[in-house]
Structure 1
Amino acid sequence: MRQRIIDFMRFAFIIILFFTTVFVHAQTDSVIIKERVAELENALITKNVQDIQKLLYDNVSFGHSNGWVQSRDEVINDCRSGKLVYQKIERSNFYVAATGKDWATVRYSGVAEGLNDGKEFKVALHVLQVWVKNKSGKWQLAARQATKLPEQPK
């Protein structure tokens, strides 16, 4: 009887260890992805093209709330030229919605402020992002789509 209890405890320990490892790995990826989102926002605000290049997947689809969809090169070129200037990006309700071995989805609401062709904008958004691990194991943004939130009465 004692041996059966010991065997059961070993089995239970292995199961708990397995699920703890899986949970910790998922938590680690979620933390890393949250950091990458912040790094990309900072790179867009500071016009750090080198970081933008590292964080955007080669075939990224970068969708804006006005229907405008940009490639990686277009995002970088507009950053360099000053066509689109981000001055402030604030996030709320941020969460990593789902994760897989080499992909994750992110959702958040927020406010973006800046200049588009020299004209000021301030827009409340809901954003969906898809992040993928590249061949070297680094997380990159593969797709982003923003939708404009309705204006709140004052």
Structure 2
Amino acid sequence: MPTSPLKAVAVFCLVAGGACLLHAGAAESKSSAEIRFNRDIRPVLSRHCFACHGPDARKRKAKLRLDMRDDAISAGAIAPGDLEGSEMIRRLDCEDPDELMPPKKDGIEPLTSEEKDLLKRWVAAGAVYEPHWAWVAPVAPEVPKPDV
């Protein structure tokens, strides 16, 4: 028996609406998920900051290392839990081109608004660093117990 066009449209709307709700729920859970330094923050800092403020002493500017938590904190670049006291955060949205980070003149791609928001949430949450994955001893995952 043929389906009426009205029924087909109704079914399509229900399916499309359900897909939208699932997508919105996934986006919400991702935004509220715990921020991890190695997964979320290190790639942003590596792409935009480490060329000038990373491990290479010959290329380092302002004697600032953002790859080492103690150095970043003692320099005042990061104040864990304090966005207003974090110089790095202030310079992300700075209007002065001489203070804006990363500087346009260095040819480094500017941070996206999502990356800026991620860094702000990370600093607000305490700016927890993690050791590089290569220095973390592997740990076997817990074996799941079957439901019997």
- The answer to whether the superposition gives a TM-score over 0.5 is no
> Of the two, which has the highest radius of gyration?
2
Task: Give the alignment's TM-score, normalised by structure 2.
Answer: 0.35
TM-score relative to the length of structure 1: 0.34
Structure with more of its chain in helix, by fraction? 2
Q: When you count strand as a share of all residues, which structure comes out higher?
A: 1
